[in-house]
Chain A
Amino acid sequence: MLAACGLSSIEELFAHLPPEERLTRPLALESGKSEYEIIDWFRARGAANVTGSPCFLGAGAYYHYRPVLVDAVVSRSEFLTSYTPYQAEISQGTLTAIFEFQTMMCQLTGMDVANASMYDGSTAMAEAAMMAVRITGRKRALVARTVHPEYREVLATYARNQGLEVVEFGYDAVSGALDLEDLERKLDGATAAVIVQSPNFFGVIEDIRAAAELAHGAGALLVDVFTEATALGIIAPPSAADIVAGELQSFAISPSFGGPFAGVIATREKYIRQIPGRLVGETVDTRGNRAYCLTLATREQHIRREKATSNICTNQALVALMATVFMTVYGKQGLRELAEQNLAKAHYLAGKLPLRFNGPFFNEFVATVEDPVALNEALLEKKIIGGLPLGRFYPELKNAMLLCATEMSRRPDMDAVAEAFASAAEPREVEAQ
């Protein structure tokens, strides 16, 4: 090959690189390892994490069972090692699966159109806010404090340089749901979007219709966010919203220390040209066959450059495929049954704990405990990972913990959590002098 290229040494390929720019030493990395050594090293890192214990953490990343079929499908080379389906004639597998994904997202959310995926729920929410700005021509977003705190941080990062003012509104201290009066007070004619999450960060189901009515009354759009997709198997679809931005991690995507997950944006038909990211559409081929292709690309960066709806290019296709297989395996009946199991488990556990809020909840809820960190340490001694102490995100909730129970939570472990709460609540014995 060197001879064919007219070269006598492979180093000549870089003959035009100015010598002072050349790296004159080997990279300071360990020498190449065998497959066995690599697996061994990562196994040891895995063992240095505590996993396999019952875990009551949720808060945007959930433990749900992953049907075996999911890995069987996403391990197929044709899905795993293919590129973005720009060449439709040899990408119909990916394109068809995305079309099915988009359809199921619409069925779940009650929206008309959904995109092919976003990086995750947090960036989907930020992009939804930007979309609302484009649609309304306004530059203010009202976001509920019951939206995932890290999602709000991402929104702040995105908003800062676009002249988008972000204002937070509160929650009702008794129910843990939106403070609609506070929302009404802060709504004005400059508001582009009202952003709420349901079930919210505390697990409480929000009144989407009421929030939508208020938002629409002021000419703003309602953006509904979800982090726990399983809830959509049983709770009313957020049809009153204008844009739905969600996270699909619950659908067979392992928690994987926070990613890769898959976000999605769904909206009404009339806003289709403002949706960011890739879209697959149905069409026909030259022989009259039904076929699918990427469509409305004039929204996207590779065509529109600085005028694009978003800079997103690579999304989370394979992860969205996991969700698609998951939704297929569970199907209409299964997603409902799965949601019912989550509901039953969470209500069983919650029934034994002092609850901070009284709003209706799905599979997460906030419990009161004097010292959440100490409680988690006590649980860890029983090899149980407890909930999320909330003080880090909500100073007013420093004596509270967010817990999540799913179909994977077993009754004896939930009983153990209840016991730990009970003993934490007992007055401490005064140590003998």
Chain B
Amino acid sequence: MIREARTHVSRNEPLLFELSSPGKKGYQLPERDVPPVDAAEVLGAENTRAEIEGFPEVSEVEAIRHFTRLSTWNYAIDLGVYPLGSCTMKYNPRVNEAVARIEGLAWAHPYQPEPLVQGALEVMARLEAALAEITGMDAVTLQPAAGAHGELTGILLIRALLESRGNPRKKVLIPDSAHGTNPATAAIAGYAVENIRSNERGMVDVEALARIVDEDVAALMITNPNTLGVLEVNIRKIAQILHDKGALLYMDGANMNALAGITRPGDNGVDVMHLNLHKTFSTPHGGGGPGSGPVAVKRHLEPFLPVPRLKQQDGKWVFDYQRPLSIGRVRAFYGNFGVLVRALAYIMAHGGEGLRNATLDAVLNANYIRKKLEAHYEIAAEAPSLHECVFSDARQAKHGVRTGDIAKRLIDYGFHPYTVSFPLIVHGALMIEPTETESKRELDAFIDAMISIAREVEENPELVTKAPHNTRIGRVDEVTAARRPVVRWRPK
């Protein structure tokens, strides 16, 4: 029975372009205090344009109603649990938003001379130090704009180090449970990808690994805990196998929310890793970004980090561009600074003990869900869960119901679905990550919904396969969208 949701009316809204009428406007510029300039005269008529055809023309009220109405068509963390596995959708503290908007930080120009941006540089330096402490690594770059960008930076660092030793090597090993960004990254960094199979416990098979690591292997990209939410208990052995052959261990830190304060990758053989500040460190996902993907490295990789590097000189922070071994820049300027501010605020609010408690609570929440749902859904791996638990739809599939259907039915119950069909090694995966910020009450409501759906699958599978029923739109036709792509509005 659906207890936690009921439908309510939301307004329809045309596209901006359909809403427009000629001459409408929602702005007022200050009166010009300098003489006007004839654009065609100073730029050349051939360099100027007529009007921007089709561009919106709406009033201020129409503009805000338009976007506010659109917003009501979205689910959000602030509305309830958002249990997407691998995404760490935790509450985004609003103090983070407040500090990111402080004028002296939000309006600092990246090319202001260093003495005029000491505050911004101190924020970055403090965050670098905090992330190094949390990961047990020696140095951190804040430049990468997101997790995949951090991965690319990390693999380029590995490549640069190996090149400096005389041979960049040929391939990167990636477990079959890995995020899709890992193989895509390795390919962009110029490496061949060799997928390695997980063992029956969902972990890297250490003996098999020892057999395939040779002088052609540049690195292993490992996700720990892996995408089954399972801790790689042999991480030191894995590192040893790689290091013995001169290869490096890269760790995808997307799941750091399961480790912070408990164990540090840098103490256990990891050479380089990235973090997702928009996961572990609570910065908002914003419907798909901005993120931030700092990369933390051990000392031997530090000379290769992107330029510029922060350093202290006569008690002031300055940028050091004289880094001959650097891989170069991975983006303009210094990173997604506004996201860095938010992450540092989160770390300050928690402190060391707070981060550790958050990890324990995140793991407890996932285990609680696992325990409560085990009787109704097939657990994908027997090994203990950390911050997320993964089920398969094996039992429901017998009734013709797949993980994607259960996900859609969850929407009717007022919840955002879990991650569907990932990791790929689990047939019909349901990947659930509650995070530490969910209360027992919210978890129980989610669990009730999942159990209720399991019952529906047995009693009335069509109710589930046709879901959602209570949303403002039904299931969308993704096949037609891809076959005949319409990716922009055009006048009729």
Contacts and interface: CB of A to CB of B under 8 A. Distances in A.
A230 to B, nearest CB: 12
Contacts of A310: 184, 188
Contacts of B70: 92-94, 96-97
A31 B347 CA distance: 9
B197 interface: no
A106 B488 contact: yes
A397 interface: no
B262 interface: yes
Interface stretch (A70-78, A138-146, A418-426): A70-78
Contacts of A235: 43, 47-49
B267 A23 contact: yes
A257 B334 contact: yes
Given A89-B473, A156-B328, A42 B480 contact: no
A343 B285 CA distance: 36
Contacts of A14: 262-263, 363
B92 interface: yes
B187 interface: yes
A410 interface: yes
Nearest to B28: A334
B487 A330 contact: no
Interface in A1-50: 1-2, 4-7, 10-11, 13-18, 20-23, 26-33, 35, 37-39, 41-50
B135 to A, nearest CB: 10
A137 interface: no
A332 B56 contact: yes
B119 A49 contact: yes
B376 interface: no
Contact of B472 (A92, A156, A161, A316): A92
Interface residues of A, number: 192
Contacts of A78: 71-76, 78-79
Interface stretch (B140-148, B204-212, B241-249, B453-461): B140-148
B331 A84 contact: no
B481 A293 contact: yes
A312 B56 contact: no
Interface in B423-478: 440, 466, 468, 471-478
B345 interface: yes
| Residue of A37, A233, A315 ringed by the most chain B CB atoms within 10 A | A315
B27 A331 contact: yes
Contact of A255 (B109, B347, B485): B109
Nearest to B354: A32
B333 A258 contact: yes
B2 interface: no
Contact of A314 (B39, B146, B335, B360): B146
B108 A51 contact: yes
Contact of A258 (B231, B335, B420): B335
Nearest to B152: A311
Interface stretch (A178-186, A187-195, A214-222, A273-281): A273-281
A259 B63 contact: no
B99 interface: yes
B367 interface: yes
A407 to B, nearest CB: 6
Interface in B216-241: 231, 233, 235-236
A394 interface: no
B488 A102 contact: yes
Given A26-B353, A89-B474, A84 B147 contact: no
A136 interface: no
Contacts of B51: 332, 336
Contact of A281 (B112, B184, B474, B481): B481
Contact of A376 (B56, B113, B118, B145): B113
Contact of A84 (B56, B285, B481): B285
Contact of B106 (A254, A289, A345): A254
A288 B75 CA distance: 22
A305 B180 contact: yes
| Residue of A35, A75, A116, A338 ringed by the most chain B CB atoms within 10 A | A35
A259 B30 contact: no
A399 interface: no
B43 A205 contact: yes
Contact of A16 (B23, B233, B278): B233
A161 B337 CA distance: 27
B488 A32 contact: no
B476 to A, nearest CB: 4
A70 B401 CA distance: 43
Contact of B482 (A82, A254, A257, A295): A295
A329 B46 contact: no
A168 interface: no
Contacts of A106: 488
B187 A60 contact: no
Contacts of A311: 148, 151-152, 181, 184-185, 187-188
Contact of A296 (B64, B354, B468, B485): B485
A55 B27 CA distance: 23
B288 A94 contact: yes
B102 A43 contact: yes
Contacts of B183: 301, 305-306
Given A32-B351, A281-B481, A319 B289 contact: yes
Contact of B481 (A13, A257, A282): A282
6 contacts: A83-B82, A297-B482, A301-B184, A314-B290, A331-B24, A332-B51
Given A4-B371, A81-B77, 19 more contacts: A13-B384, A17-B231, A38-B349, A42-B99, A74-B286, A79-B76, A80-B97, A83-B89, A90-B471, A107-B54, A161-B190, A257-B108, A301-B148, A302-B180, A312-B146, A314-B290, A328-B56, A344-B34, A360-B47
